[in-house]
């Protein structure tokens, strides 16, 4: 068996995949109808929409298969994402890459495989629409065209997922997207007994920016704030715009003191940005940090509510300090 290579752009590819907020989501009819159609059109027992995560292939739709994921290092789809063309394996038992693969030697006993790469709107390959049979077989040129057409439909549905979970103005996750990603992240931390910190952020004096400079400049300020968040936070952090001038960050494997250091560093980055652009106003923020407690925070909404209270307390204290300073 030959394990699939890792693409040179895998870090960027994975960032795109996770930003789509599609991993670990329930099965959906709009994807299932495509895999059902593929099974029927090609007369195969298994058809999948497979997404290649860091160490696994996860199935958004899996017709004819009882599992939702398998390891990436034994995946056929891991090989398929390395090329733009459809990967066809007519006889897995006669292919040096797969002849002794566990998926060939045991369930689902792959004899034939065909996988068409699926691309995100930004061009990164996310996974495949693939066909699996237990017997060796081939596909005609017309078959390949039909498989590619079905893959284009899957890509269109994935693009719709992105629109539903991204904030249109800032192009980062919206509240819906954050809730989906954060649930997965917090469940992982709870399962592995890792710390996690949630940070609620509110831009200071944003109403004044809108009133003084106009809403177009206010939108520009929000986009700039989001860009600085992207630059500071790593690919493993989850961040989103969840209100007009409210943002949230989930820092996995990060205790509160480390989260505090992240926010201090972010404030320094913003200060440098303000000095460089000199727009007549400064981007600044108040924030509240909550230490994730799996026994207390049973839902993402609960930890968000706790962080919201702390953030507004800090905002009140900051306004009081500013008023006192103005009297001096």
Q: Are 60 and 77 in contact (CB under 8 A)?
A: no
Q: How confident is the model at residue 167 (pLDDT cuts 50, 70, 90)?
A: confident
The whole-number average pLDDT for the span 75-85 is 95
Residue 162 has pLDDT above 80, yes or no: no
pLDDT at 114: 98
Q: Which residue has the higher pLDDT, 238 or 81?
A: 81
- Using one digit for the tens of pLDDT, what is the confidence trace for 289-298? 999 998 999 8
Residues 70 and 101 in one domain: yes
* Last residue of one domain, picked from the residues 165, 189, 205: 165
Confidence at residue 320, expressed as pLDDT on a 0 to 100 scale:
64
Q: Using pLDDT thresholds of 50, 70 and 90, give the confidence band for residue 327.
A: low
Question: Which residue in this structure is represented by tokens 């003191």?
Answer: 257
Question: Does 160 or 3 have the greater pLDDT score?
Answer: 3
Q: Is 2 among the domain residues?
A: no
Which residues are bridge partners to 119 per DSSP? Answer: 125
> Is 129 inside a domain boundary?
yes
> For residue 299, is it within any domain?
yes
For residue 170, being part of any structural domain is answered with no
Model's pTM, two decimal places?
0.58
Residue where one domain finishes, among candidates 165, 191, 223: 165
Q: Are the CB atoms for 20 and 126 separated by under 8 Å?
A: yes
Q: Is the pLDDT of residue 267 over 60?
A: yes
Per-residue pLDDT, 188: 76
Q: Are 202 and 322 in the same domain? A: yes
pLDDT for res 155? 93
According to the model, what pLDDT value does residue 325 have?
Answer: 62
- Claim to verify: residue 179 and residue 312 sit in the same structural domain: yes
Sign, CA torsion 160/162/167/169: negative
Single residue among 165, 197, 215 that ends a domain in this structure: 165
pLDDT in tens, 179-229: 877 887 788 788 878 899 999 999 999 999 999 999 999 999 999 999 998
User: pLDDT tens digits, residue range 108-146?
Assistant: 999 999 999 999 988 999 999 999 999 999 999 999 999
Q: Are 130 and 249 members of one domain?
A: no
Same domain, 112 and 253: no
Q: Do strands 125-133 and 112-119 pair parallel, antiparallel, or not at all (unpaired)? A: antiparallel
Whether 50 is in a domain gets the answer yes
Mean local confidence (pLDDT), 219-241: 85
Q: Are residues 129 and 199 in the same domain?
A: no
Mean pLDDT of the 164-192 span: 83
Could you tell me if residue 5 is inside a domain? no
Question: What number is the average pLDDT over the span 44-56?
Answer: 96
**pLDDT in the model for residue 19:** 81
175's CB contacts (< 8 A; 6+ apart) are 240, 242, 243
Residues 6+ apart with CB under 8 A from 58: 23, 24, 50, 51, 68, 69
188/80 same-domain check: no
Name the band, by pLDDT with cuts 50, 70 and 90, for residue 255: very high
Higher pLDDT, 214 or 234: 214
The full DSSP string for 178-235 is HHHHHHHHHHHHHHHT--EEEEEEEETTHHHHHHHH-HHHHHHHHHHHHHHHHHHS-T
Task: Work out the mean pLDDT of the chain and round it to a whole number.
Answer: 91
- Token couple for 234: 């790593």
CATH number of 187's domain? 3.30.70.270
Looking at the structure, tell me whether residues 78 and 135 fall in a common domain: yes
Classify residue 183: in a domain, yes or no: yes
Query: Is residue 1 situated within a structural domain?
Result: no
Task: Check which CATH number belongs to the domain holding 52 and give it.
Answer: 3.30.450.40
Predicted pLDDT of residue 237: 75
Q: pLDDT > 90: what percent of the chain? A: 70
Domain count of the fold of the chain: 2
Helices (DSSP H) in the chain: which residue ranges? Answer: 10-19, 29-42, 77-80, 102-105, 141-165, 175-192, 206-213, 215-232, 256-277, 300-327
Q: Does 276 share its domain with 153?
A: no
Q: State the Cα–Cα distance between residues 162 and 164, nearest whole angstrom.
A: 5
Same domain, 53 and 154: yes
pLDDT of residue 324: 65
Task: Reply yes or no on whether the pLDDT at 308 is more than 70.
Answer: yes
Res. 328 pLDDT band, cuts 50 70 90: low
Residues 313 and 220 in one domain: yes
Residue 318 is predicted with a pLDDT of 75
176 three-class SS: helix
Q: 161: pLDDT confidence band, cut at 50, 70 and 90?
A: confident
Residue with tokens 């004899």, as numbered in its chain: 111
188 versus 77: which is more confidently predicted? 77
pLDDT band at 236 (very low <50, low <70, confident <90, very high): low
Residue 113 and residue 34 share a domain: yes
Which residues form the domain of 233?
Answer: 175-327
């Amino acid at each position: 068996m030959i394990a699939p290579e890792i693409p040179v752009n895998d870090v960027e590819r994975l960032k795109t995949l996770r930003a789509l907020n599609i991993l670990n989501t329930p099965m959906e009819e709009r994807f299932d109808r495509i895999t059902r159609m593929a099974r029927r059109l090609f007369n195969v027992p298994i058809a999948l929409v497979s997404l290649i995560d860091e160490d696994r292939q996860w199935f958004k739709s899996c017709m004819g298969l009882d599992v939702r994921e398998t390891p990436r290092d034994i995946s056929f789809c891991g090989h398929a994402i390395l090329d733009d063309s459809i990967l066809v394996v007519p006889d897995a038992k006669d292919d040096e890459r797969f002849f002794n693969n566990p998926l060939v030697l045991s369930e689902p006993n792959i004899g034939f495989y065909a996988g068409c790469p699926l691309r995100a709107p930004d061009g990164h390959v996310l996974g495949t629409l693939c066909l699996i049979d237990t017997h060796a077989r081939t596909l005609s040129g017309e078959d390949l065209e039909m498989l590619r057409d079905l893959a284009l439909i899957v890509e269109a549905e994935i693009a719709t997922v992105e629109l539903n979970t991204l904030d249109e103005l800032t192009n980062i996750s919206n509240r819906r997207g954050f809730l989906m990603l954060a649930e997965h992240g917090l469940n992982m931390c709870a399962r592995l007994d890792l710390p996690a910190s949630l940070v609620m952020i509110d831009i200071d004096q944003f109403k004044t920016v809108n009133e003084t400079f106009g809403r177009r400049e206010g939108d520009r300020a929000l986009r700039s704030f989001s860009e600085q968040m992207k630059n500071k936070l790593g690919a493993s952090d989850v961040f989103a715009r969840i209100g007009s001038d409210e943002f949230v960050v989930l820092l996995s494997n990060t205790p509160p003191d480390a989260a505090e250091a992240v926010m201090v560093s972010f404030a320094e980055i913003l200060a440098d940005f303000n000095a460089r652009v000199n727009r007549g106003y400064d981007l600044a923020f108040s924030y509240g940090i909550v230490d994730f407690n799996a026994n207390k925070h049973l839902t993402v909404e609960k930890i968000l509510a706790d962080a919201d209270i702390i953030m507004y307390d800090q905002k009140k204290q900051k306004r009081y300090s500013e008023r006192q300073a103005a009297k001096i």
